[in-house]
Amino acid sequence: MKCVTRLAIFSVVLIACTSCQAKEAIRQPSDASVVLPPDDAGGDASETPGFSRGDLLAAFGACALDRAQDFLTRSGTLETALAALVASPGDGNRDSARAALRAAFASWQESEVLQLGPAAPVSVAGGQDLRDQIYSWPLVSRCAVEETLVSQGYAQPGFAGAVVNRRGLAALEVLLFHDGADTACGPTSVIVSSGSWAALDDSERAARRRAYALAAAADVRARATTLVAAWSPGQGDFLRTLASAGPGNPTYPTTQSALNAVSDALFYVEAISKDLKLAPAIGLRDCDVAPCPALLESQYAALNKAHLAANLRGFRRIVEGCGAGYGGLGLDDLLVAVGGGTVAASLRTRALAAEAALAAIVQPDLAAALAADPQSVRAVYDAFKALSDVMKTDLVSVLDLELPASVEGDND
């Protein structure tokens, strides 16, 4: 059982796992004073024993900042590895760069489920669209990367303003894991029609890939720095914006609106993990003849299993707690406090079931599994669906949340 007490972190309150008695009181409320109201509207319900909604929102913000800082560290390691590869090409340095990219992806795919505030689209409250600047999938194009390689646009001053499918982690995956002499561009592309792609010999093409990858990694590291600053106290301090939801807060005028933002981010596992990363590949949508491995997310590094597992880790950090072993305050504590203990248990159980379904796939990645044992991939989809079914019904009902527009009317 997790257990919590208050701990000051990043100038706000993050709940740590130190007082079993306090956590037990939250998990088994014995009187109405323990139950948080549906919306305290300004709520710092500090008189509530155990924790308030402000505490919970502070914990979510601290988690988002922690994950952003972790990614910043890993993106710095990636840039360093690529600088070494550019300085001294060779299999050892290439393998180190690939390992650094895998580690950066593992970190970022957790943050994919934390797209609120600075990482969220500008169309939502507090959104700064920083996510797409780091990882633009499904807006990706190997042809766009190859056109940039030929033009050497990565070496130009305006590279940071290039279309996102020419930068970011997706471009890095192509550059580090695809080294063929073929191009994904069609005959109408200038690099094909002019013969400029064909004119590059293998050595020149490889050298440009390395230089391009280093420029892309530097850009990713700069974006990660911006994301950390946007959350950090003393800088953008979106941490305080989230934790202080309520009257007078222009971004989140009520705590309920802030909780809705967190809930919308969690629905990534429904709208993206399930419906875009899994459904097309197994033939449930956008696939003429199933299976369709060409519709998987990671086409070159074969990280599809790893990406989905990381998505689930990010999900669990918010639902259960962001500390070691998923300790600390999480959305499940709020569910228990308002009488939704069964829903909290279902979310935890079904997230574990999805992790188990992924672990049961014996092939190294989903493309191989689709060829050898497609039912094992369907089992992963079914596990994600079971999890999202609880979210779309019980979770939003118990906490009086709104479904995000991306899943409204989705009855699968």
Which pLDDT belongs to residue 226? 98
Q: Reduced to 3 states, what is the DSSP secondary structure of residue 374?
A: helix
181-187: long-range contacts (C-beta < 8 A, 24 or more apart)? 181/205, 183/143, 183/146, 184/141, 184/142, 184/143, 184/146, 185/143, 185/146, 185/147, 186/143
pLDDT in tens, 41-81: 433 333 344 899 999 999 999 999 999 999 999 999 999 99
Q: Which CATH architecture has domain 66-241?
A: Up-down Bundle (1.20)
Which pLDDT belongs to residue 196? 98
Across the chain, what does the average pLDDT equal? 89
| Cβ-based burial of 69 (10 A; exposed 0-12, middle 13-18, buried ≥19) | middle
Q: Which residues of the chain have pLDDT under 50?
A: 1-35, 37-49
Which pLDDT belongs to residue 202? 96
Query: What residues are paired with 60 via a beta bridge?
Result: none
Q: Are 12 and 240 in contact (CB under 8 A)?
A: yes
Which pLDDT belongs to residue 405? 83
Which pLDDT belongs to residue 411? 60
pLDDT in tens, 336-367: 999 999 999 999 999 999 999 999 999 999 99
Which pLDDT belongs to residue 161? 97
Which pLDDT belongs to residue 50? 80
Residue bearing tokens 């709104």: 402
Secondary structure element (H or E) that encloses residue 15, with its range: strand 12-16
Full-model pTM: 0.89
Q: Are 264 and 252 in contact (CB under 8 A)?
A: no
Which pLDDT belongs to residue 229? 98
Which amino acid, residue 271? A
Domain boundaries, the chain: 66-241
| Cβ-based burial of 25 (10 A; exposed 0-12, middle 13-18, buried ≥19) | middle
Which pLDDT belongs to residue 27? 34
Which pLDDT belongs to residue 410? 63
Q: Are 329 and 3 in contact (CB under 8 A)?
A: no
Dist. CA 241–CA 249, nearest whole Å = 7
Dist. CA 366–CA 359, nearest whole Å = 11
